[in-house]
Amino acid sequence: MIKSTANYKDWTISVSADSNMCSNFSFDVIDPAGRTQHVGMGGDDERRAMERAKELIDLELALAEER
């Protein structure tokens, strides 16, 4: 069940309530080309999962700049 969605730097983030081991939320990030990455252990709460999704996007953009 999707709890929230957001756009960040032209990427789409979807956070879902999803218990997985010690995590209560997961998230998907979709890049501008439509490729999706799923993180099953997104965080203890919705806010932290959204923060982690943004951190992942920032990392992906930084790595793309290095190439």
pLDDT, tens digit, for every residue of 1-58? 778 999 999 999 999 998 888 899 999 999 999 999 999 999 999 999 999 999 999 9
Q: What is the pLDDT of residue 62?
A: 97
Q: What is the structure's pLDDT at 57?
A: 98
In the chain the beta strands, taken as DSSP E runs, fall at 2-8, 11-20, 23-30, 36-43
- Cα end-to-end distance, the chain, whole Å: 36
Residues 17 and 25: their CA atoms lie apart, in Å, by 5
Predicted confidence (pLDDT) at residue 64 exceeds the cutoff of 80? yes
Contacts of residue 52, defined as CB under 8 A and 6 or more positions apart, other chains included, come to 27, 39, 42, 43
The confidence score (pLDDT) of residue 21 equals 82
pLDDT band at 67 (very low <50, low <70, confident <90, very high): confident
Residue 23 bridge partners (DSSP): 20
Length of the chain: 67
